[in-house]
Every structure is written in C-alpha cells, then in structure tokens.
Amino acid sequence: MAAWSERLAGVRGVLLDISGVLHDSGEGGGVPIPGSVEALARLKRSQLKVRFCTNESQKSRGDLVGLLRHMGFDISEGEVTAPAPATCLILKERGLRPHLLIHDGIRSEFAQIDTSNPNCVVIADAGESFSYQNMNKAFQVLMELDNPVLISLGKGRYYKETSGLMLDVGAYTKALEYACGIKAEVVGKPAPGYFQSALQEMGVESHEAIMIGDDIVGDVGGAQRCGMRALQVRTGKFRPSDEHHPEVKADGYVDNLAEAVDLLLKYAHQ
C-alpha cells in the first residue's frame, strides 16, 4: 500500500460516521470511544472541513446530537446528514403517505407528514419494535398496493451496542423485499445520492473528501463508489475479517478516530 502521505494528499473535507466512530450506542445512550472526543476537537480546530454522515434512525437528529454533546463531542444539528429529514423531503416531493415501521425515538421527525391512507412503507431501525405483528402489518400494507413503494433508512446489516451486535434495518428491509418481491429505495449510506448531498452540504468535491467509518460496505465501499477516499476504524462493528473483504478495500485501516485524525493532520492538505 502507498505511503500515508500519498493516500491522504489533497484531502480538504472529512465525513464522519457517528455510531462506532464517535461512540458505541447502547443503554442510556452508550459510551464514547476512548480518544474520540479529543480527536474530534482537534479535527475541528484544523483547516479541514468536517461533517457527520450517519444512518442513525432510532433517534431524532436532535436527540442524537444532545446525547453526543452530553458526552463531550463538539457537534451541532446543522452539521449532521441524517436519513429521517432526507426521507421527509422525498415523501413531500412525491406526495407519499407512509406507513411508518420505525422506533418511537424518531417518530417526532415525521410529525409534519400525512400518514393517513398509506401509499408506501418507510422502514427504519425500529429495534424492539421489529415485532412479528409490526413486520406483518408493514407487509400487508405493501401487498395491498398496486405499486408497492418501500423506503428504507439505510440498509445496514448490524451495528454494535455496548451489549453486543444488533440487527440493523437492512436485515428487515431484505425480509420485506423478499416477501413482496420488490426492491427498497434506500435513503442513507451507501446510496450515492446520500453521500453526494453530504458532500454538497460540506462544500467539498468527492476527490477532496474522505469518509471515516466502521462499516466496510456501507461507509467505505459506499464512499469509494462516489469517488471519495475512505478509512475504516477498528472500533464499533469492525471485525478483523473486514480487512480481507472480498470486494471492498479501504484506503487505510486505523485503530480508531484518534489515529485517523493524527494521520490527517499530518498528511492531508499536502
């Protein structure tokens, strides 16, 4: 692999995944990953532009930012690209009235959306609300539509909570896709449009941007397909086998956000 100086040259903007990079989510909001609070502070003091790009869909953007600030992270709502607000824009544009298969923690994001007489299903990381009854209800709504539309907030396979690995929305989206014989529209990583809107909001071109995440497929692979570079951190859901993934090779593997920031501050902008 080329030297870090070569791999990081010309980076002007950094997109940061949140869960598994800043903190591990879990009971009571989870815990910060050691070194990440200080690393983010250093990154934000640098000349690099920073934006957060998350698939978090259990908590509203406001609640998520509140939790992170409470842990000491320097983050504000306006810096976060999150799938629920992006989905609301799409629903309004297309006149879609969703049946919502979501966690109660994110329901407030959809307060302005008409959910009467649904003509689509929106699925997010519903956690405990992924009961058989709730899945079946969403399935039945889709099967009654002539043209079933399923919008999935991300397609993550799993994430890491403090108590262990947890199934993410992507698994349940696959279940509905298979049962209905349809394909979901993904709002979130790794959908190219989602990365592009985050880049636009950051004001950086893809070839000048780098993604830092713990998901080899959703973060690293997705960002690379958009022309960005991408680092995988060995925190969160990282597993050693990710470094030998059959399809995706990160531009670098680092122990944690702190190491990524050390390298960026040393070698970016050159």
Closer to a second copy by Cβ: residue 93 or 128: 128
Interacting residues toward a second copy by CB under 8 A: 126-133, 135-136, 139-140, 143, 157-158, 164-168, 170-172, 174-181
* 171-179, Cβ contacts within 8 angstroms, sequence gap of 24 or more: 172/101, 172/123, 172/126, 172/130, 172/135, 173/123, 175/135, 176/121, 176/123, 176/135, 176/138, 176/139, 176/142, 176/150, 177/150, 179/139
Closer to a second copy by Cβ: residue 31 or 165: 165
Closer to a second copy by Cβ: residue 32 or 105: 105
DSSP class per residue in 232-262: EESSTT--GGGGG-SS---SEEESSHHHHHH
Least spacing, CB of residue 182 vs a second copy, in Å: 11
Closer to a second copy by Cβ: residue 56 or 208: 56
Least spacing, CB of residue 173 vs a second copy, in Å: 8
DSSP percent split of the chain into helix, strand, coil, nearest 5: 45, 20, 35
Least spacing, CB of residue 185 vs a second copy, in Å: 17
Residues 6+ apart with CB under 8 A from 214: 17, 19, 20, 21, 160, 232, 233, 235, 236, 237, 238
Please state the separation of Cα 222 from the chain's center in Å.
11
Least spacing, CB of residue 90 vs a second copy, in Å: 23
Residues 6+ apart with CB under 8 A from 54: 17, 18, 19, 64, 80, 81, 82, 83
Closer to a second copy by Cβ: residue 95 or 181: 181
Closer to a second copy by Cβ: residue 32 or 236: 236
Least spacing, CB of residue 157 vs a second copy, in Å: 5
**CA 198 – CA 15 distance, rounded (Å):** 8
Least spacing, CB of residue 143 vs a second copy, in Å: 6
Least spacing, CB of residue 180 vs a second copy, in Å: 8
What's the burial of 68, exposed, middle or buried (CB within 10 Å: 0-12/13-18/19+)? buried
Closer to a second copy by Cβ: residue 47 or 178: 178
